[in-house]
Chain A
Amino acid sequence: MRAFDVVTAKDSRHAVALLAEHAPTAKVIAGGTDLLADLKFSSHGPAMVVDISRVEDLKAITITDEGLSIGALVTHTAIMRSPIINDMFPALVHAAHTIGAVQTRNLGTLGGNLVTGVPSMDSGPTLMALEAIIVILSPAGRRQVPMAEFFLGPRKTVLKPDELLAEILIPKQNLGKPTHFLKFGLRKGQALALVSAAASVWVDVDTQICSAPRISLGAVAPTVIRAPKAEAHLDGRPLTADAMAEAGRIAASEAKPISDFRASAGYRRELVAVLTKRALEGAYELAKTKRRGA
């Protein structure tokens, strides 16, 4: 590892000030699970590391006027143990559970997972299917970016060097929306996703008519993506077995998977069709359960 200076941020305001002072030579460290792996095996690195791991005001999970706010420094373990998230979005709990191992989830943060910008990130599809909004702080103030516009390409996001991802917001209209997430990896533990898929949908359980279906896919394009054609196929129609299977096939045609040593593009495309269908089925099941519970 190349030597670097460390400055420790006391709160989010201090973190932004430190970034403004030291960008663009500075790197932000939170849980460190990605940054440290990069620094260790690389001969170049930042001259300065801004350590935000002690910034307490970015560690809260709260319901606000805008929706469900998850601080960027909330760990995957904290998501799994949050009563609010378990109640509203079991899919987020499940997605967090598929990340690394206990030790990784105890360190790694939700914001950290998103800023990596890798297409296989496990937190991505569920949040995108819930139309999450990324809240960014900088010396210029606070700006919000829809999740679907946050990623520019593999390992590229809209974040500028002096900007800090502060919060992930699930908008109010989606609180409690039935959502399901599935990841297919080569092992049960510590595997990268070959394909991941999430679906969120409101369903009138009497008529099966669905509205605002949202489908998001991971590891099958340069970034986590939505599948708008598959969504359009379902919107306003009954959520039948045939409709869900067809949405899966359409989603497969929207994906742009690559072949690599883990799987071929063709195999990934097949997985998209199956996982999309199953994610829709899972969200539908949840819609039915919620009504029974209500």
Chain B
Amino acid sequence: MANDDREKLSVSRRAFLKGGALATGALSSTLIPLGPAEGADRAPEATDLDPRRSKIELKVNGVAYRVDVPNTTTLATLLREELHLTGTKVGCDRMQCGACTVHVNGRSVYSCTVPAVDAAGTEVLTIEGLAKGDTLHPIQQAFVEHSGFQCGFCTSGQIMSTKALLDRNPQPTEDEARQALSGNLCRCSAYKKILESVMTASRLSRA
């Protein structure tokens, strides 16, 4: 069955990415995974050597990290280039396209426009944090079933915006769904399939 193949494919890719992130983490001097109790509610600290860099502690998908980055770093760059969580995409890099959408303390934001220092002490959820082991999140499952994408570049952002919507409003109308996802552009124009995915995700999430 095609669906089963797809699921296996996505699982193996995810496992590959996860492995990559851990391996890099072990090698990098600035990336220190902390215990689960640490890393909460801390403001950034200037580093000892350079006031233009900051030490930041934050939790991403339940894992605590301590990093040391230039103040010019955005959350999107921190996620992709320091933590190697490349599921979050950068499209326009100017708060229009939504490919970089992640949740910070439960709110969906454009991570391209959040300074990393402002994410210090927060809990971040990215697309990598949705699946439980080999089981896709119901929203991911719905996007797979409906082919809610063509090229897939905008998809992690679409899914994170869908999650933000369903967390607050588990049974949205189609109009509410359109409005909630209006900050996520799809250059392939797969909007019809994306909307179908959102409505199915709403049903699956409640099941």
CA distance A71 to B203 in the complex (A): 39
Chain A residues whose CB sits within 8 angstroms of the CB of B74 once the complex forms: 36
Q: Is B93 an interface residue (CB 8 A)?
A: yes
Q: With A5-B51, A5-B71, A6-B54 given, is the CB distance from A33 to B117 under 8 Å?
A: no
Q: Are A103 and B46 in contact (CB-based, < 8 A)?
A: no
Q: Is A174 an interface residue (CB 8 A)?
A: no
Q: Are A107 and B72 in contact (CB-based, < 8 A)?
A: no
Q: Are A101 and B182 in contact (CB-based, < 8 A)?
A: yes
CA distance A190 to B185 in the complex (A): 11
Q: Is B144 an interface residue (CB 8 A)?
A: no
CA distance A4 to B95 in the complex (A): 21
Output the least CB separation between B13 and chain A (Å): 26
Q: With A102-B108, A104-B183, A106-B109 given, is the CB distance from A33 to B95 under 8 Å?
A: yes
Q: Is A154 an interface residue (CB 8 A)?
A: no
Q: With A5-B46, A6-B71, A36-B115 given, is the CB distance from A103 to B108 under 8 Å?
A: yes
Chain A residues whose CB sits within 8 angstroms of the CB of B180 once the complex forms: 102
Q: Are B117 and A51 in contact (CB-based, < 8 A)?
A: yes
Q: Among B52, B108, B113, B184, find the residue whose CB has the most chain A CB atoms closer than 10 A.
A: B113
Tell which of B44, B107, B109, B182 touches A190, judged by Cβ atoms closer than 8 Å. B182
Q: Is B166 an interface residue (CB 8 A)?
A: no
Q: Are B96 and A54 in contact (CB-based, < 8 A)?
A: no
Tell which of A4, A40, A77 touches B52, judged by Cβ atoms closer than 8 Å. A4
Interface set of A (CB-CB < 8 Å, partner B): 1-6, 8, 29, 32-33, 36-37, 39-41, 49, 51, 53-54, 77, 100-104, 106-107, 188-190
Apart from A51-B115, A103-B183, A104-B95: 18 A-B pairs, beta carbons within 8 A? A3-B70, A4-B72, A5-B51, A6-B71, A6-B117, A29-B115, A33-B113, A39-B72, A51-B118, A100-B95, A101-B98, A101-B183, A102-B108, A102-B164, A103-B108, A104-B183, A107-B109, A189-B182
